[in-house]
Amino acid sequence: MTQTLLSIGHGYSARALARGLGPGWRVIGTTRSAGNAATLRAEGVQPLVWPGTDLGPALARATHLLSSVPPGQGGDPVLAALGDELRDATHLRWVGYLSTTGVYGDHGGGWVDETTPLTPSTARGAARVAAEAAWADLGLPLHIFRLAGIYGPGRSPLDRVRDGTARRIVKPGQVFSRIHVDDIAQVLAASMARPDPGAVYNVADDEPAPPQDVIGFAAHLLGLDPPPEVPFDQADLGPMAASFYAESKRVANDRIKTELGVRLRHPDYRAGLAALLDRARTT
């Protein structure tokens, strides 16, 4: 029996999921740009330009739904446009919402897990907390995925080192968690195969690390000199970049392993970056 995934905001992570679903799945993906529709179609996805297209027929056909759309200043745009229709979509077997570990706020490098109180320290984090609650209020079989920093093909420290935009900014005690996009895809697929409505999952690898260490390792893999270290207070970061450095935490990922049986393909940044370099060399 064919299952249908309606992917709203069919971007980087959702495209990785769709590529791995295999036979028996139909994927309908929304994009804001008509120019992206041909790309999605070439990947086997039925594209819909949204906003601008009535998603009612696609929602009626869907067995599964994934939203990758972040909230804006006015709240979650998907819920603003489709809230009533979603509330009535009781036929859905699984609903996924891609959130962020920013909902936890700053923990001074300490560990957080899915039971940690949500104390966001940025406006973006607070908006995510509100969006999570709004999705939960729909009464659908919701699964929330709190993603760490995403990297993968075309979006990794390797690319920034190659093009000369990488910076080794050093803030003592600063650590980030991260996750390879292929591991996001396998976590989502595992959840779809084993629904647990109401579940929340941190999606991060096994080794939180200082960002300068990751850039240094990427340079090592490429046989290049690492960029010079820049103290955080001299980095002259823009508001968005500076906000990331306002939070330091280590994200625990035990639940995706114990409840979903996930074995990370890239358990740390060294394995993930090495795999990306190998892939680039063979394509």
Is the per-residue pLDDT at 1 higher than 90? no
Q: With bands split at pLDDT 50, 70 and 90, how would you rate the model's confidence at 127?
A: very high
- The 3-state DSSP class for residue 198 equals coil
Better-predicted residue by pLDDT, 276 or 283: 276
Mean pLDDT computed over 79-89? 96
Q: With bands split at pLDDT 50, 70 and 90, how would you rate the model's confidence at 10?
A: very high
**Model pLDDT, residue 50:** 96
Domains and CATH numbers, the chain: 3-151+177-206+249-267 (3.40.50.720)
**Model pLDDT, residue 143:** 98
Mean pLDDT computed over 87-97? 97
Cα dihedral: 111, 117, 122, 126 (round 10)? 140
Is the per-residue pLDDT at 241 higher than 90? no
**Model pLDDT, residue 208:** 98
Q: With bands split at pLDDT 50, 70 and 90, how would you rate the model's confidence at 224?
A: very high
CA distance 252 to 69: 24
- The 3-state DSSP class for residue 210 equals coil
**Model pLDDT, residue 204:** 98
Identify the CA nearest to 252 among candidates 115, 149, 118, 127.
115
Q: With bands split at pLDDT 50, 70 and 90, how would you rate the model's confidence at 166?
A: very high
Identify the CA nearest to 68 among candidates 102, 39, 31, 97.
97
The predicted model scores a pTM of 0.96
CA distance 204 to 236: 28
